[in-house]
Amino acid sequence: MNGEAAVKLIKPVKGKGTEDLAAEKQKIGWNYRNNAYFLLKIMLTVSGFLAAIIINVVFPQKADVVIKTYTLSAFGYNLDLTMNDAYIFIVSLLILIYGAAGVRAFVDRTRRKLYSKNAAFRFALGAALAIWDIGGTKLQLFAQPFFPGPAQVVEAYLIDSDYIVQNTIYSLRLYAAGFSCGVLLGVVTGILIGWFPKVYYWVFPVLKITGVVPAVAWMPFALTLLPNSFTAAVFLIVICAWFQIAFLTAQGIQSTPKQNYEAARILGSSQFDLIFHVAIPHAMPDIFTGITSANAMAFTTLVMSEMLGQPGGLGYYINQSKVWSAYYKVLAAIIIMAVLFSLINYIIGLIQKRTLRWQEGVIKK
Amino acid sequence: MSSSIGITNVNRIYTDADGNKVNALNDVSLNIRPGEFISIIGPSGCGKTTLLRLIAGLDKPQSGTLSIDENTISDVSPERGYVFQQGGLFPWLTVEGNIAYGLKARKVYKNNKKDVAKYISMVGLEGFERSYPHQISGGMAQRVAIARALINQPKALLLDEPMGALDSFTRADLQDKLLELWKENGITMILVTHDIDEAIYLSDRIVIMTPRPGKINEIIDVDLDRPRHRGGVDFLAMRKKILQLFELAQAEPQPEYNI
């Protein structure tokens, strides 16, 4: 970008004649810089989703699925809609979002390249919805009731909206309580192990052996010894995050170069400074490696403990729906998990990027 | 501001990985005058870095004493600044953060906030305040390390081959900067180097050490006028003298008489 700007500055200033413009147009060629080409890319992006809507409306339904009408009320308005209406509404929303992004990229040329690149995948996404619809609810080509159509999954949200929200909040509460305690305990233990040789001697071997045991293995103890199932599940998530994070934090503290300590001491550091302003900043990349890997394990532990002994949560919802063979509800819960967990990963990624700003551009050793 | 440093009959013996005793410093005595620029040169293994670490207080001798202004050196202190061969900067702090570190550690940052900018401009790093160590060149990193030590207003600055990893142009540039800072701050400078030219160009006196066991072989007064000229006749004569001490000078080529 800067290079381009510099080149423009060096160029002698002169009015652009029609010849120049024509030459420039020829130079552009058949790629995303070309307006017609880019319009085609927008159409490609949207067409998959359009096909999904058309198929949902036009295709006759063979399956024995009753189309019920649900009434949604919000802000004093009542809205009657069937599962197909809701599905079409969601897909239309996607068309609107991607269409708007396309228009934006059309104006803002810096966004064009990425949008063009994503066009094929977004088309495939729409096409997959269409195929799923045909194979699922419409013609029942896939094994039923395991593969209900997308509209039926949407129906789960219509039927169980409050209940799903309730279970999602339950999962989030469990995760937040367990993971935050786990991170806190993990970092503190890791620092103690990394800093004090005595703590290392007594605690590290215990951590190393117990750390390899999957947290859910402790479930029988957790369920019987702790006062309620919520604390039991929190305990399991804490364990899985704790050991992993403590392990890596200790490693990060211990790998601090001696020279960093010597430099800090000569500059007037106290013991406190050596821990908090030298060892911990140095261990930060390792601490975040621990947090991200523990996070993935925490999701697993969360869902498993919900499936095995919780009065709520998305895992519980899946289990309950399975009993009634309501696989469309299972899929609905899985989609929420995918979105929710991705979001949590994204937020952790943002915090990591901000904290480890100093590492940007350095290849990690 | 500057200090005299006394080193009396210092012995330092290491035990290496195989259990052998290595005599890193054998009965070393040296008096460094206040405000003096002194260089310690010698081949690797002669104990020059060991001696510098002892002066810094990073290490302790088995016998003998080290003192600064008659006070025995027993631990590290901000009054003896130290510049490491390379690195040594905190990679997680910006240039500004690294330089301000000493003030913050000594809890005097609030009263001396303006000093950070002053020392940044003293080493000529304006515009790089917010850069991280890996984003700047090796020469700039050493300037940061020097400024970081100087901000604590040390009585002596100990430099452990600070220019060892730099290319010759950057090195010459940094040598001039070092002389400038020495005059400006009037502190005692102790430089460990393996570069004979660098030692002659910078120092008042050159301490020549030899290995196995590490000891001081000779102390040479560099009585050349400043500013010195790297290609001057006196300079080259001094260089030859030191090379001869290390038995590195080659014999003059004999004229060929074969006809």
* Mean of pLDDT over chain A: 87
Looking at the predicted structure, is the pLDDT value of residue A182 above 90? yes
Residue A202: how many CB atoms within 10 A of its CB? Answer: 11
Q: DSSP label at B253? A: P
B19 pLDDT tier (thresholds 50, 70, 90): confident
d(CA A301, CA A107): 46
Contacting residues for A201 by C-beta, under 8 A, at least 6 apart: none
Q: Quick one: closest CA in B to A279, which residue? A: B90
Q: Quick one: closest CA in B to A359, which residue? A: B92
A332 pLDDT tier (thresholds 50, 70, 90): very high
Between A64 and B126, where is the model more confident? B126
Question: For B218-250, how does the pLDDT look when each residue is reduced to its tens digit (9 = 90+)?
Answer: 898 988 888 888 888 888 988 888 888 877 655
pLDDT value of residue A24: 62
B87 pLDDT tier (thresholds 50, 70, 90): low
pLDDT value of residue B22: 83
A361 touches chain B (CB under 8 A): yes
A107 touches chain B (CB under 8 A): no
Quick check: B101 and A267 CB within 8 A?
A: yes
B109 touches chain A (CB under 8 A): no
pLDDT value of residue B248: 60
pLDDT value of residue A80: 81
pLDDT value of residue B253: 59
Question: For B171-226, how does the pLDDT look when each residue is reduced to its tens digit (9 = 90+)?
Answer: 888 899 899 889 888 899 999 998 899 999 999 999 998 888 888 888 989 888 88
A362 pLDDT tier (thresholds 50, 70, 90): low
Closest CA to B145 of B169, B173, B168, B174: B174
Nearest to A267 among B57, B78, B91 (CB): B78
pLDDT value of residue A142: 82
Specify the fold of A157-356: MetI-like fold (1.10.3720)
d(CA A271, CA A275): 6
A269 touches chain B (CB under 8 A): yes
Burial of B228 by CB count in 10 Å (0-12 exposed, 13-18 middle, 19+ buried)? Answer: middle
Nearest to B76 among A266, A282, A361 (CB): A266
Provide the shortest C-alpha distance from residue A8 to chain B (in Å). 25
Over residues A60-69, the mean pLDDT reads: 76
Looking at the predicted structure, is the pLDDT value of residue A351 above 90? yes
d(CA B141, CA B195): 20
Q: Quick one: closest CA in B to A258, which residue? A: B88
pLDDT value of residue A176: 95
pLDDT value of residue A5: 45
**Listing from the earlier edge strand, what are the strands of the sheet with B21-32?**
B21-32, B5-15, B63-68, B71-72
Cis peptide before B211 (omega within 30 of 0): no
Q: Which residues make beta-bridge pairs with A81?
A: A70
Q: Which of A73-82, A339-348, A353-362 has the lowest mean pLDDT?
A: A73-82
A146 pLDDT tier (thresholds 50, 70, 90): confident
Residue A262: how many CB atoms within 10 A of its CB? Answer: 18
pLDDT value of residue B166: 85
Nearest to B88 among A263, A278, A359 (CB): A263
Quick check: A263 and B82 CB within 8 A?
A: yes
Chain A CB contacts of B132 below 8 Å? 357-358, 360
B154 touches chain A (CB under 8 A): no
Chain A CB contacts of B88 below 8 Å? 259-260, 263
A12 pLDDT tier (thresholds 50, 70, 90): very low
**Residue extent(s) of CATH 1.10.3720.10 domains in chain A:** 157-356
Share of chain B above pLDDT 90, in %: 37
Tell me, letter by letter, the H, E, C secondary structure of chain A: CHHHHHHHHHCCCCCCCHHHHHHHHHHHCCCCCCHHHHHHHHHHHHHHHHHHHHHHHHCCCCCCCCCCEEEEEECCEEEEEEHHHHHHHHHHHHHHHHHHHHHHHHHCHHHHHHHHHHHHHHHHHHHHHHHHHHHHHHCCCCCCCCCCCHHHHHHHHHHHHHHHHHHHHHHHHHHHHHHHHHHHHHHHHHHHHHHCHHHHHHHHHHHHHHHCCCHHHHHHHHHHHCCCHHHHHHHHHHHHHHHHHHHHHHHHHHCCCHHHHHHHHHCCCCHHHHHHHHHHHHHHHHHHHHHHHHHHHHHHHHHHHHHHHCCCCHHHHHHHHHHCCCHHHHHHHHHHHHHHHHHHHHHHHHHHHHHCHHHCCCCCC
B130 touches chain A (CB under 8 A): no
d(CA A176, CA A170): 10
B16 pLDDT tier (thresholds 50, 70, 90): confident
pLDDT value of residue A310: 83
Most B CBs within 10 A among A266, A269, A276, A356, hence the mutation to make, goes to A266
Question: For A93-118, how does the pLDDT look when each residue is reduced to its tens digit (9 = 90+)?
Answer: 999 999 999 999 998 888 899 999 99
CA angle, corner A226, sides to A222 and A227, nearest 5?
145
Residues 274-293 of A with CB under 8 A from B: 277-278, 281-282, 284
Q: Which amino acid is at A202?
A: W
Q: Quick one: closest CA in B to A280, which residue? A: B92
What's the complex ipTM? 0.89
